[in-house]
Structure 1
């Protein structure tokens, strides 16, 4: 087989490498072309060198090109994969820093909440530029695989306004299933059969079977509470399981910021999080992790390049959806996964226009969703709160409507639990002004926002958050990695 895959935001080096090696685990795909594109020439050069080394080491005919000219990369592409972060870590730091001044403590801030909504405002216009290029220069019927957050908002905009065949992909479901299999004592995650449905990062394991035997709420609660690690790391997630009756796919820290109950007061945050790793609830945890990862990669790049000389091992193919979807579409080997698509009746008690994440099957005819799923009422209610925020956020991003943007932020569950309307209005003004270079659709609104900020009497505070850690130096990271290696 010979076709072209374009990867936008390919400078996300580690993730691009993973997608690349996964795809080349499919024997029929060794003759394809990868076209890498990014706004950073530096990052592009690094990832191209790594991928070239993989191709050389494995004696493959695979072609790898790299360019900052996006349309050139997309020309003739059958598949386009996006993993962009518009504004990079600089804008992301504002997504965390500014809401903290108003008492809003986020662990990740990339899905909803104040940070995720502004992230969407930056990404959606660029996403629509991608869609325009796909319509104009990509192969007829090209498929857009979106890995970029905020997943639901980006996918919603691409489908509704970009008019491109789009699917959103995430790995939260797979990770949650691995946890459940582990606490239930399964030898392999393959022993667990499940139906998981909802919206991205708020997906719910509504049916569980271990080796064909149904697993109920009480058994699952007991298994998690008895686990020596997860009982400490997933306290909030276990509490939601007890109250809702089903387990959420999302990590303890991520789940905490989609709900109005657990991060509303600093003293409450400490009760529900675990500081053993950023993903369990640390303030700005993913920002710290991302910063450390970038610094580590820049410093230790020669090691990454050397590691690329190893043979590709198909047994180590990851559970990221992209390679499996492409394999199913091109070879007709059926793949079952969980995909982000427009609802259109798949989940009976969520809106038709919402972007849902639910089970589907892929073969040469495309992605075919399992329809007629009904969520438990509490799960649907929680999803609905986020969907309403997502819808307003998408519409605000398309129109450049700062008033609608403020209403979207006001209706966010955690923001609403913490902040007053006056605080929300000022916070959004401050975020739009700070991120104006990445928000061209709001250019007309920036002068008035600056004027309001100059006259505002709403009080803020300089607050690091309830559970903030400093970015570690390269020396500290080396010492930690050495200690872990020595410990086994």
Structure 2
């Protein structure tokens, strides 16, 4: 087994992924190779040293190596993790502030809203090259994509390439944690099921894992008493549609015209949301304190909320195991009243034969309508990228709930394509 992590230099994603692989005791009984890949040599070296330290501490038998040569790393890979971006927070800030300067008020500018279009184009542009290498050097590999905007990126991977890919996100795990905190219950005592689109999924059932008791009435009572501003939009959506979605306004708010009002017009990662003296997490060195021994490593050696490694183990064991969610093209109408040619997030069943998306009941029409609009945005984004069409970029923006002015939308496109031209292909009128 050869697992390749592309984007391993990330001190959050890379660190979690390395720990997850090295923690898995079953991998000690198999010949497993873990290859770390990143274009940033300094960050890659730091992560490699960290992985060596973790491996020694855990007595892991996994062989770890690191390289900037992606092609060599992918040769014969069985599993590939992808989490990539260029200048993540600097460009994200442009995604948020430039559309805002045109009057397009966004909640977060990561997965929805006008800023997310440019986030999607940048990451699709990077990932298409990676996919081309996968098709050549490990065409049978199972690819786990973690890069946002998940729905748009995965649609591009699924329709513009021949690779076998699934999109993963810990959002539903976050929702489960939020519900368990609300109910003051351990996380393994509650089972939730639902789906929708990534970061805009909807919980259809919440039950006691042991007794099967319906816990939704209690969740609704508890939620009605919640006063946290972070939960405010989720609370309103629960009141209106009768279902929970992502437990933080930053995510559900991206897909709604009212989302920005729950963020007070602030960018969560900007100086308006933290003191000037506080270093942003993207600039913090999270690994060196462990490498120098100034912070003990043992407390962080726990499995993350990501499910890629558990999925690999379930496939290896051949024991049917259900997981909360994965992202797939809705070709099997896993959600019957959503578009068949867009990406949905639904529960998955994993066994020795692979990963099987599970069907869920139709979503209420008010919810489904919003999801279908976003799925059309997914499709137009990918078409615009494929055809390098500014006209299709405009059509995409005009579907966004926060975009209400055609000339400003056209000006925004020109502005962003110029500002981010080093990270995008050339688009034509």
How high is the TM-score relative to the length of structure 1?
0.81
- Corresponding residue for 2:188? 190
Instruction: Give the CA deviation at 1:79.
Output: 0.4
- Corresponding residue for 1:347? 335
Rounded Cα–Cα distance in structure 2 between residues aligned with 1:205 and 1:253 = 17
What is the correspondence of 1:101-116 to structure 2 with a 5 Å cutoff?
101-116=101-116
- Aligned mate of 1:392, from 354, 360, 380: 380
Is the Cα–Cα contact under 8 Å of residues 168 and 340 in structure 1 kept in the other structure? yes
- Corresponding residue for 2:268? 285
- Corresponding residue for 2:316? 330
* SS of the residue 1:103 aligns to: coil
What is the correspondence of 1:183-332 to structure 2 with a 5 Å cutoff?
183-186=182-185, 188-210=186-208, 211-216=211-216, 218-227=217-226, 231-263=228-260, 269=261, 272-273=262-263, 283-286=266-269, 292-297=280-285, 301-306=287-292, 310-311=297-298, 316-332=302-318
Instruction: Give the CA deviation at 1:427.
Output: 0.7
Is the Cα–Cα contact under 8 Å of residues 194 and 360 in structure 2 kept in the other structure? no
Instruction: Give the CA deviation at 1:373.
Output: 2.7
Deviations 1:425-446 (A, max 9, x none): 101110011101111242x56x
Q: Does 1:411 align with 2:381?
A: no
Q: Which runs of 4+ in 1 moved over 6 A?
A: 288-291
- Corresponding residue for 1:438? 423
Instruction: Give the CA deviation at 1:350.
Output: 0.5
* CA separation of 1:232 and 1:109: change in aligned 2, threshold 3 A: closer
Rounded Cα–Cα distance in structure 2 between residues aligned with 1:233 and 1:436 = 34
Instruction: Give the CA deviation at 1:47.
Output: 0.9
* CA separation of 1:75 and 1:378: change in aligned 2, threshold 3 A: same
Is the Cα–Cα contact under 8 Å of residues 2 and 77 in structure 2 kept in the other structure? yes
* CA separation of 1:197 and 1:162: change in aligned 2, threshold 3 A: same
Q: Does 1:172 align with 2:171?
A: yes
Deviations 1:429-487 (A, max 9, x none): 10011101111242x56xxxxxxxxxxxxxxxxxxxxxxxxxxxxxxxxxxxxxxxxxx
Q: Does 1:145 align with 2:128?
A: no
Instruction: Give the CA deviation at 1:386.
Output: 0.9
* CA separation of 1:212 and 1:130: change in aligned 2, threshold 3 A: same
- Corresponding residue for 1:9? 7
Instruction: Give the CA deviation at 1:58.
Output: 2.5
- Aligned mate of 1:360, from 348, 351, 366: 348
Instruction: Give the CA deviation at 1:389.
Output: 1.0
* SS of the residue 1:341 aligns to: strand
Instruction: Give the CA deviation at 1:200.
Output: 0.3
Deviations 1:337-356 (A, max 9, x none): 20001112111000111110
Instruction: Give the CA deviation at 1:306.
Output: 4.1
Rounded Cα–Cα distance in structure 2 between residues aligned with 1:321 and 1:4 = 17
Is the Cα–Cα contact under 8 Å of residues 95 and 119 in structure 1 kept in the other structure? yes
Deviations 1:322-361 (A, max 9, x none): 1111111112243322000111211100011111000111
Instruction: Give the CA deviation at 1:25.
Output: 2.5
Is the Cα–Cα contact under 8 Å of residues 334 and 361 in structure 1 kept in the other structure? yes
Instruction: Give the CA deviation at 1:77.
Output: 0.7
Rounded Cα–Cα distance in structure 2 between residues aligned with 1:133 and 1:372 = 35
Q: Does 1:421 align with 2:420?
A: no
For the aligned residue pairs, the C-alpha RMSD in angstroms reads 2.2
Instruction: Give the CA deviation at 1:312.
Output: 8.5
* SS of the residue 1:285 aligns to: coil
Deviations 1:113-155 (A, max 9, x none): 11111011111122121111111101x5211100000100111
Rounded Cα–Cα distance in structure 2 between residues aligned with 1:37 and 1:378 = 43
Instruction: Give the CA deviation at 1:301.
Output: 4.3
Is the Cα–Cα contact under 8 Å of residues 107 and 259 in structure 2 kept in the other structure? no
- Corresponding residue for 2:363? 375
* SS of the residue 2:184 aligns to: coil
Gapped runs of 5+ residues in structure 1?
A: 264-268, 274-280, 446-488
Rounded Cα–Cα distance in structure 1 between residues aligned with 2:336 and 2:21 = 34
Instruction: Give the CA deviation at 1:181.
Output: 2.0
Is the Cα–Cα contact under 8 Å of residues 20 and 304 in structure 2 kept in the other structure? yes
Rounded Cα–Cα distance in structure 2 between residues aligned with 1:163 and 1:391 = 17
Is the Cα–Cα contact under 8 Å of residues 27 and 61 in structure 2 kept in the other structure? no
- Corresponding residue for 1:460? none
Rounded Cα–Cα distance in structure 2 between residues aligned with 1:184 and 1:90 = 38
How high is the TM-score relative to the length of structure 2?
0.91
Deviations 1:383-411 (A, max 9, x none): 11211111111110111111101110121
